[in-house]
Structure 1
C-alpha cells in the first residue's frame, strides 16, 4: 500500500512505500536526570526583558518546572531570587538582551538555546542562525510573505519557530532550514555545524563535554562549590582546566574524567564517557628537549640525573607503580625513557636501584626554535658578574652543596623561580639573580645561609676569586652575609636598591630618566643622584611613609606603590614570612580523659627557635580557658591570660576562608620541632616545604584506605618521601596565598613524613565558624 507525503516546504506530492509517524513532540529516548542539568547557571546576573511571568516557588527546581510548562511564550531562561523566593520565566536569554549585576539573583539559561551547533539532523537546534547557506536572510515563521508557510508557531508550538531562526520542524535529514526572503526561493538549508561528539581522547584530560553524572548515576558537585565535599579544584585555581558548572573533567591526570558527587557519602567517582574512535596523537612527535615541565618530552634519555638507569614503565620490579602504559596511552610511557606523566617539575623515572624509588632526569633545554634543538653545554665560567651564567656548578667556594632554588629547607628565602623567571633558577645550580658580585647559592648547611660558588671568570685563568669578590670565608664564618641588593625593605624602603620593577597591581614601572608616558620634574637620576633611581626599579626618593613606588607605563595611572616584603632580622636573602615560631605548649594534647588538667596547668611559650638556648624574644603565657571542638575533632582553642606582644619573632598567621581548601599546587610549609635523625639541629625549630594531597588520593587502598575523614586532609607524596621530616601533634601547615600566609591545617596523626600520604591534618576551613563563634562567646 502506498502512502503519500505532502512536502510542505516545496509543495510537491511524493509517494513512498512506507509510512512514517512524525510528531512535533517526538524526541529521542533519554534518561532524564536533574531538571537543572538542562540549564546553564550564572550567579549574580539579572537580564532585562519585557516578556516574562512571575511565580512564587520554593527553590530553583520548581522554577525550572514553571519554565518547562510556560505557555505564554517559549521560555529560554528563568531568574530565581534567593531571599524573596521569586521565580521569573523569561522569553529571552543573555545572548538576546541586556544583562546587569544583581547580588541575590541566579540566572538559569536553557542550554539548548545557547548551543550554536546541531546534534544529528538538528531537530532540537534552537540557535540564532537566521540565514541560509547561500547567505539569504530567512523569512519569519509567523509571516506569510513572500511565502505562505506550512510550518508556523501556531501549528507547531513545540518546534521552536521563533523569529526567523533556522529550524527543522519536520525532521529533514539534511538538517535545519528556513523559508527565505527571496521570492524565487521558497526554502533553503542553513549552514549549522555539527556539535562535537561526547567522547574523550587518551585519558580525557582535554575533554570539554557536558556529561555531569558519574558512572553510577550520581549528580556531580559544581566545581565552584565546597558542599558537600571541600576541595581545592576550583575554577579560580585551575583556570586552564575548564572546570565549568558540574561537568566531568580530568584536571589531575587521572585514568579518565571524574567529579566530586552531590552525595555526602560518596566523595568522588569516575564518569562514563566513551572513547573517541580517532587514534590518539603519536608519542614520537613530541619534543626531543626540555621545555616547560617537559610533559611533551618524547626523547630517549633513560638515565636519572645521578646516573641511575630507569626502570621500564611496563614492569613492576624493583618498584611497583600505577603508571602502566596501557592505562595511560598518551603519556609516551615507552620502554624506560624519562617522562613526566603527572605534571611534576620535570621528567623523571623509577630507577632500577631498589633503594631509590624515583629520580628526576637531566634533559637538555630547548633553545626556543621550532625545531627544538638542544642547547649546547654552557661554559663553566662566568662573565662580568655572572648574571648570564647558565652552567651546572652546584658547589660553593668552601665545598658546600647548594640548596635547590625552589626549596625552603634548610633556608627559607624569596629567590624562587616564580619571582625571578628570567634568572634560570633551575635545580640547585649556582646563579646570580640579584646582581651580586658573582654567582652564588643557598647552602644545604643549616649553619651557613649562602656562599659564592666555586667558579672563575671566563677571562681569568686562575682559580682565585675575582678581585672584587669578598673572600669565601666571609659567608662561611659568619653565615649571615647581606647581599648588595636585597629584595626586601627596611622601614619605608628609602634605602631599597633591589630590582623589582612592577607595582603592587602588576603595572610595569616607567624609567626614572624617562618623561613618557608621564612627565615629572623632581624625581630623576639628576635631581636625586643618591636615591638609586636606576632603570625603572621601585624606589622611595621622597621618603614616602607608605613605602617604595614608581611612575607607571600605563598612561591612565601616573604612579603606584610597589609591594615588596619587609626584611627580617636575618640575612636579607632569607624569606620573611608572617610566622617564625611554632607555639610550644607544655602538654601536647587536650583529650577528654585528661580530667585533672586544668587550664592553669598549661604554659604557652612563644618566640623561641631553640629548645635549649636562652632567647630574649621568649614570651610565656598562662592559659585561662581550653575550648575543645564540640563534635570531637582533633582541634582546640586556647584563651590566654593576657594579650601577646606582637614582635618580629611573634606574629599572627591568617585564617582561611570558610569552606575553601588550599589549591593543589600551593606552596605550603610544615613546621615542627621533630627530630632530624642524629643531626646537630634536633633542638631547633624546623620547617619543610610540604605538598597537600586530595582526599580521594589519600584514601586509596594502597595509601590510607579510607581512614581520612571529610574534616581532615593529608600531605606529603604518594611516591617517594620527604627526608629528615618528623611531624608532631598540633604542628601547623601554613600555605602561601598571594602576599600572605594562611594556616590550613593542624597536624593530627600519621606523623612520619617519610611515608606516603602522611601526616594527616585537621582541615581548618571546616571549623572557621566554630572558631569565630568561640572567639565572640569567650
Structure 2
C-alpha cells in the first residue's frame, strides 16, 4: 500500500511539473497550420498532448479553459504573429524562446539565421545554392528541428550551431550565438537579464522590491516589462548601461560594470526615414530642431556635455548630428549648437497620416455606446487593474494595432479603444504574461440611474458567503443575484443543461456550492472579470454578464467622471463641474486660523453654486520642520455627497511608479490663456526622483519627501495659485492623493517638472495629528 502511495505521489508531481517547461501568456492566440485539436479536462493534459505530439514539432499550445479546448502548434511568438483572444492562454516551450547556447548547442532552438560573417542561412530542406549532405535533412534528423533556416547543431559539431549559407562561395559556416553562461549586455543593456548584482565600485545592489535604504518608483509589480528581479542590475529608464540602487545609505544608485557581448549587436529590423511611434527607429538625416537650431554632433561635448554618445548607445544610430531618440523620449531630438538651449525636439515627418486631434471627451459620465468603437475617453486601465501599453509601443507585446494602421481609431497614448470592432474597448497590457484585456469602462445603457447618493452613508456591510442582492462584491464569486442575461443581452443556458453547449467543468454536481442551480450568472472559477454564463446562442459558447458593483459612496471615486485631459492648467482645460469633489478653495486675509475660510462643493471661483459648503478653520497643524505640508481642522465636519468627497490617502511610504498617470487641479494662474474663474485640470506622468535630480533637470534639489511630475518638454504644469492643491493618481478605479503642489522653477518649463510633497511619507504624522487634535 505504501509503495502504491509513493508511485501515486510521484505521478502527481510529474503531472503538475509538466507546465514548468512553458511560459504562459493570457489573451494570446496563434493561427497556424498544421495544428492538432483535442478536448481535455485540464491545462496539464494539454501540455502532455504537446509533449507527445507526433504530427509536427510542438513549440506551443493554446488552452481555452471554459471550452476545454487544447490546440497544439508548431509555432510560437518568435515565428508567427500573435493575435487577440480573450478566453485563450498561449503556453510556449521555453527551449524554443531561448536565444543562447548551452555547451556546443545541440539543444539550441532559437531563431538566429545568420552566420558569423553575416551570411543568411539556407533553409534546411532546400537544395540551392548548396545540396545538403544526405545525412542532414529534416527527414533524417526529425528531432533536430531543421524546419526552417535557423542555426542548428544536428550532429554535435564542436564549434556549435551552424547552417548552409545562401552564398554560393561559402557552403556552410558556424553561427555567432551568445553562450547562456556569458553575463554580458547588448547595446545599452535595455534587455539585460543577467544576474550581476554589484555596482562598478563594488557596492551591493538593493532589491527592486525593497524601499530601503532608498525609496524609488521602479516597482516590479507595476513594471513587469522591465524584469526588475531580485537585486540584479537592470536598465529600466534609458541609461547608458544597467544600474541599481545600492545598499549604501549615502549612495543612492550607481551603474554596473557589465561587459558588452562579443557577439554582433542585434540589428534594427527596419530603419526608418520617418518617425513611427516614438521614433526610436528613425535613421533619417534631419539635423535641425523645431525652432530651427542646428543639432550638435552626438560625439561632441561642446557646447553641451552629455552621456548620449555613440559609445554609450551603440545601437541607436547616433551618426553625425542627426536627430535621434536614444533614451526613450516621446520623439526624435538632439542637443543644439546654441549654448543657451541644451536640447529640443525635431520636426521629423510621421510615417502614417497626420496626427489625430486631441480627443474630445463628452460631458457627463464616461461610458461607451454600442461596442465602444466611438469611445474617446481617458481610461487607460484594464478590468483587472493592469496598466495599458502604448499603442505605438511594441513592448512587451508586438502587434499591428498602430495609429498608422488604424488612423480613425484615435489610438492615442495608452488610452482604451476598440480599433477592430470587438465587443468593448480594450488595450494591450504592460504585463508580459497578459497580452490584452477589456478596459474598466461600463456601457452607457447599462449604467445605474443617477439617483443622488446619501449625504452621510453608512459603511457597507461585509458580504456574506451567499450574496443574493443584484450587485457584486469584488469579482462576484459570491454573487447569487437573479441576472440571467449576458453583457450582449443573450439569455443564459442552464448550468445543468448540455444544450446548445456541451460542457464538463461547471455544473451543479461538480460545484454544488457555487449557486449553479438554474441559469443565473455566476463565477464558479473566480474569473477576474466577474460573473458569466454559457449562452443559449449556438454560436457563442459563453460570455460575461453586466453586474454592477455593490460599493456605495467611496473616497476617490467621484460620481461625475473627470475628463482626465492631458491639456494644461497653464493654457487651459476646464474641468467638468464637480468631477474633482475633493478640491477646496482656501481663502484668507491673514495667517490667523480665524481668517481662513474653506469653500467646498464649488466649480467656479465666484462660488455661486447651491452645492457650496462653507467652513471656518479652527486650527492649523504645520508639518515637520523643513517640509511643505499642513493640516487644516474645520470648525465642523463637511457633509459628504456627490459634490463633496475626499480623495483616498496612499499607503504609508508608497512610492508612485515612474510614468504613472496623475492629475492636478486648481484655479491658479493661466498666464492670460483664458478659462480664468473655472476649476481647471491637467494630467501628466510621474518622473522618478532619480531622473528628476539629473543635472539637466532639477540638479539634486528634489528630496526624499518630494515627488516630481510633468512632461519633460514642458507645456503642462501647475502654477502660481495652485500651491497646496492636490496631485491625484488613478489606480484600481480610484483617485489617490499622492502629492501636494509645492514648488517649481517657473510654470510649464521644459525639463523643469513640478515638485510635490509626497503624501505617503506623512501618513503616520497625519494619523497622529488627527488623533491628537
Q: For 1:556 and 1:773, how far apart are their aligned partners in 2?
A: 51
Q: Which residue of the partner structure matches residue 585 of structure 2?
A: 584
Q: Alignment RMSD, CA only?
A: 5.3
Instruction: Give me the whole-angstrom Cα distance separating, in 2, the residues matched to 1:298 and 1:324.
Output: 17
Cα distance in structure 2, aligned partners of 1:236 and 1:303:
40
Classify 1:666/1:768 alpha carbon distance in 2 versus 1 (closer, same or farther; 3 Å): same
Match of 1:491 among 440, 449, 462: 449
Q: Relative contact order (alpha carbons < 8 A, sep ≥ 6): 1 or 2 greater? A: 2
Asked if the contact 1:504–1:562 (Cα under 8 Å) also holds between the matched residues in 2, the reply is: no
Distance 1:659 1:281 in 2: 40
Q: C-alpha deviations, 1:677-726, integer Å up to 9, x for none? A: 11332322222112222222222233322222111122224444437955
Deviates more, 1:630-639 or 1:508-517: 508-517
Q: Does 1:415 align with 2:382?
A: no
> 1:750 offset after TM fit, Å?
1.9
Structure 2 residue 700 is matched with structure 1 residue 706? yes
Give the distance between the partners of 1:347 and 1:417, measured in 2 at CA. 27
Aligned to 1:512: 489
Q: 2:187 aligns with which of 202, 205, 211?
A: 202
Q: Determine if contact 1:600/1:622 at 8 Å carries over to the other structure.
A: yes
Deviations 1:387-431 (A, max 9, x none): xxxxx486xxxxxxx4357999xx999614847977631469xx9
Q: 1:31-110, aligned counterparts within 5 Å?
A: none
Determine the C-alpha separation between the residues in 2 that align with 1:504 and 1:513. Answer: 24
Residue 561 (structure 1) aligns with:
547
Whether the 8 Å contact between 2:276 and 2:351 is mirrored in structure 1 is no
Q: For residues 164-183 of structure 1, what are the structure 2 equivalents within 5 Å?
A: none
| Displacement of 1:579 | 2.3
- Provide the secondary structure at the position in 2 that maps to 1:689: strand
Instruction: Give TM-score scaled by structure 2 length.
Output: 0.51
The match for 1:615 is: 609
Does residue 650 (structure 1) correspond to residue 652 (structure 2)? The answer is no
**Inter-partner Cα distance in structure 1 for 2:586 and 2:409:** 43
Q: Is the 8 A contact 1:434 1:486 kept in 2?
A: no
* Corresponding position: 1:767 with 2:744: no
1:777 counterpart residue number: 772
Tell me what 1:256 maps to: 241
User: Which residue is 2:230 aligned to?
Assistant: 245
Aligned CA distance change for structure 1 residues 618 and 696 (closer, same or farther; 3 Å): same
Aligned twin of 2:284: 300
The separation in 1 between residues aligned to 2:274 and 2:264, in whole angstroms, is 25
Task: Determine the structure 2 residue equivalent to 1:497.
Answer: none
1:639 CA displacement: 1.7
Change (3 A) 1:233 1:515: same
SS of 1:561's equivalent? coil
Structure 2: gaps spanning 5 or more residues: 1-99, 105-157, 159-177, 368-374, 382-387, 392-400, 402-407, 422-441, 452-471, 478-484, 498-519, 521-528, 536-540, 552-556, 566-574
Q: 1:517 & 1:347 partners in 2: Cα distance?
A: 57
Contact kept, 8 Å, 1:221 with 1:260, in 2: the verdict is yes
Kindly tell me the number of residue pairs found equivalent between the two proteins.
Answer: 471
Closer, same or farther: CA 359–582 of 1 in aligned 2, 3 Å: farther
Q: Does 1:691 align with 2:691?
A: no
1:352, CA displacement in angstroms?
9.3
Q: CA separation in 1, counterparts of 2:293 and 2:196? A: 43
TM-aligned CA distance change 1:487 to 1:207, over 3 Å:
farther
Query: Residue deviations 1:16-41, cap 9 Å, x none?
Result: xxxxxxxxxxxxxxxxxxxxxxxxxx
SS at match of 1:212: coil
- Tell whether 2:262 aligns with 1:277: yes
Aligned partner of 2:627 among 630, 633, 638: 633
Aligned partner of 1:736 in structure 2 is 730
Structure with the greater alpha carbon radius of gyration: 1
Cα distance change on mapping 1:639 and 1:510 into 2, 3 Å: closer
| Residues 280-328 of structure 1: CA deviation (Å, up to 9, x unaligned) | 2344754677766554x24537499989798466278998865433331
Q: Give unpaired runs (5+ residues) of structure 1.
A: 1-116, 122-173, 175-192, 366-376, 378-391, 395-401, 437-483, 494-501, 521-541, 543-547, 589-595
Q: CA deviation digits over 1:546-583, x for unaligned, max 9?
A: xx997456989974626798863999998799624632
Cα distance change of structure 1 residues 738 and 291 upon mapping to structure 2, 3 Å threshold: farther
Q: In 2 relative to 1, CA 275–576 (structure 1 residues): closer, same or farther, beyond 3 Å?
A: farther
Distance across 2 between alignment mates of 1:682 and 1:294: 37
